[in-house]
Amino acid sequence: QVQLQESGPGLVKPSQTLSLTCTVSGGSITTANYAWSWIRQPPGKGLEWMGVIAFDGSTYYSPSLKSRISISRDTSKNQFSLHLTSVTPEDTAVFYCAGGGTYYGGTYYYPSDFGSWGQGTQVTVSS
């Protein structure tokens, strides 16, 4: 059974970079046809998918965040990380990492499901 755990600072100042790490256990992030996503939920709003890193290390980001987001991985630690630059208070949210299947859309790998989720971590952007 795959388990995910988010970690990182709970408070980030405006204009800084938000960085979170997801540690995966019970499965490898390089397992074929799996993909690993970051998803957030601002207070009072729905879930927003942010981006994905596939089993081969390729990435795809939400167009609305593409200029500010990057997702990387450390295969030796079985971790993947989120970096969101130039944050504002509107980036305040509970951030989740999630893993599941993927499909190839011709240019990118896209997530096909989110079978495993971390518990979520609150990040507040405030001075």
Q: Over the stretch 70-102, which tens digit does the pLDDT of each residue have?
A: 999 999 999 999 999 999 999 999 999 999 999
Identity at 61, one-letter amino acid code: Y
63 pLDDT band, cuts 50/70/90, is very high
Exposure string of 13-23, with b = 16+ CB inside 10 Å and e = fewer, is eeeeebbbbbb
d(CA 92, CA 88) in angstroms, rounded, equals: 8
Residue 74's DSSP bridge partners are 79
Match 């969101």 to its residue by tokens: 84
